[in-house]
Amino acid sequence: MPDDFIQTTKRHLKGLLPQRWRSDLTLVPVVRLSGAIGMSSPLRQSLTLAAVSRTLERAFAVKRAPAVALVINSPGGSPVQSHLIFKRIRALAEEKNKRVFAFVEDVAASGGYMLACAADEIHADPSSVVGSIGVVSAGFGFPDLLARIGVERRVHTAGTRKTMLDPFRPEQPEDVERLLTIQREVHATFADLVRSRRGAALTAPEEELFTGEFWVGTQALPLGLIDGIGDLRSTLRARYGDKVRMPLIAPPGSWFSRRAPGGVSAALGGLDLSGGQLGAGLAQGLADVAEDRALWARYGL
């Protein structure tokens, strides 16, 4: 039997094998980290460690993969959840000895940039929004509203600071100073993390980088906040060759949950539809959605 026929047959048979069994292919699992970071609600699915941990573990468990790619599109959110996800990515990368790439889509700002810093290399589109290394707290004040509509508010506390920053009381200077003290601590932790991960790559003074300002990809590159301009496919093909495969690691149960077989209640994430709980739940959900919308709007998205 001619050798060329045998080789051709082998190639065809190899092409029928699942990708995980083919030794001639390089696999780089892809994990999407998209959305605001923090507590989820029936109308808002957010990034939390609990939500992404199993997906990350599955991606890093692919033995033949030399690396894992993170596709990030997040305006930030909870500093605690951002840090927990960051630490889990780094722990898995070191445990499995895999390189981590981050690819920024629309935005990796604030906590989203913290997630990107978990990667060994950060790549972005020329117009991606990157940075916002700072801390922000926002709210509203209604100190005169209740009196105008004839409502008496009654608050009973044990502890002199339990009503700190109460939106129905006039803002107190000592409350604001206490909040700023906490923000400075959180900001310092964020800045230390960026220093430890980006190191000598940072070229601009810290008083410029750590102000909460953000930049587009072409501006972030010379500042050392990212390592390159490029997308997932072209960057990984240039690194690992044209045969590289980039399977998306979907969250567990995502196919099932999208179809919401349990009806309206399941589609709303188990929201209690009885009595006043429905109105309260929907009101909270809509408030959460509005908060998410405000996060994205900060970056013109």
Q: Give the active site residues.
A: 110, 162
- Rounded distance, CA 55 to CA 176, Å? 40
Q: Say how many C-beta atoms besides its own lie within 10 A of residue 23's C-beta.
A: 8
Phi, psi angle pair for 102, to nearest 5°: -120, 135
Give the position of tokens 């070229």: 203
Helix-then-strand count for the chain, H and E: 12, 7
- Rounded distance, CA 272 to CA 276, Å? 9
H or E element at residue 86: helix 79-96
Cβ atoms of residues 180 and 137 within 8 Å: no
H or E element at residue 298: none
Cβ atoms of residues 118 and 94 within 8 Å: no
Residues with Cβ within 8 Å of 103's Cβ and at least 6 positions away in sequence, in order, are 69, 70, 71, 72, 123, 124, 230, 231, 232, 235
